[in-house]
């Protein structure tokens, strides 16, 4: 499967070693219910990224919710770090990896933004 383009066309790193102010990352699985098949959740982050492409050209435009452009007319300061590896039914491992990635981003310091997966990813994300 071909990976989707990054969210809103954001880079995976900023030029000249600048640190991002926000980091988007995806995860496919959190805690799968016993006996359930959650493979479809693994497609969510790529679907969100693909859907964002229609708006990628508007990143520098005026945002009425923000009262100005998203990055205030400055260079993009958000990156898409891709997906972390998660595995269906590896509930404890998935939670550890989601929390660890969140902590890694907060240590930059940057704002972590998690996309994809199911609702069980929220708890380890907030724990980070």
Question: Is residue 59 domain-resident?
Answer: no
Question: Is residue 60 domain-resident?
Answer: no
Q: What is the pLDDT along the chain (128 residues), one digit of tens a residue?
A: 556 899 999 999 999 889 999 999 999 999 999 999 989 999 999 999 999 999 999 999 998 998 999 898 888 999 999 999 999 999 999 999 999 999 999 999 999 999 998 899 999 999 98
Number of separate domains in the chain:
1
27: CATH: 3.40.800.10
For the chain, helix (H) and strand (E) counts, in that order, are 3, 5
C-alpha 67 chain-centroid distance: 24
């Amino acid at each position: 499967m071909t990976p989707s383009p990054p969210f809103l066309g954001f880079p995976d790193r900023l030029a000249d070693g600048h640190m991002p102010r926000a980091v988007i990352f995806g995860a496919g699985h959190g805690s799968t219910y016993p006996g359930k098949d959650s493979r479809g959740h693994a497609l969510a982050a790529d679907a969100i990224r693909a859907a964002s492409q229609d708006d990628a050209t508007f990143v520098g435009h005026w945002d009425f919710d923000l009262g100005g452009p998203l990055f205030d007319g400055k260079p993009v300061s958000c990156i898409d770090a891709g997906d972390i590896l998660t595995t269906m039914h590896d509930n404890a491992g998935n939670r550890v990896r989601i929390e660890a990635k969140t902590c890694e981003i907060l240590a930059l310091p940057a704002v972590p933004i998690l996309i994809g997966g199911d609702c069980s990813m929220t708890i380890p994300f907030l724990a980070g």
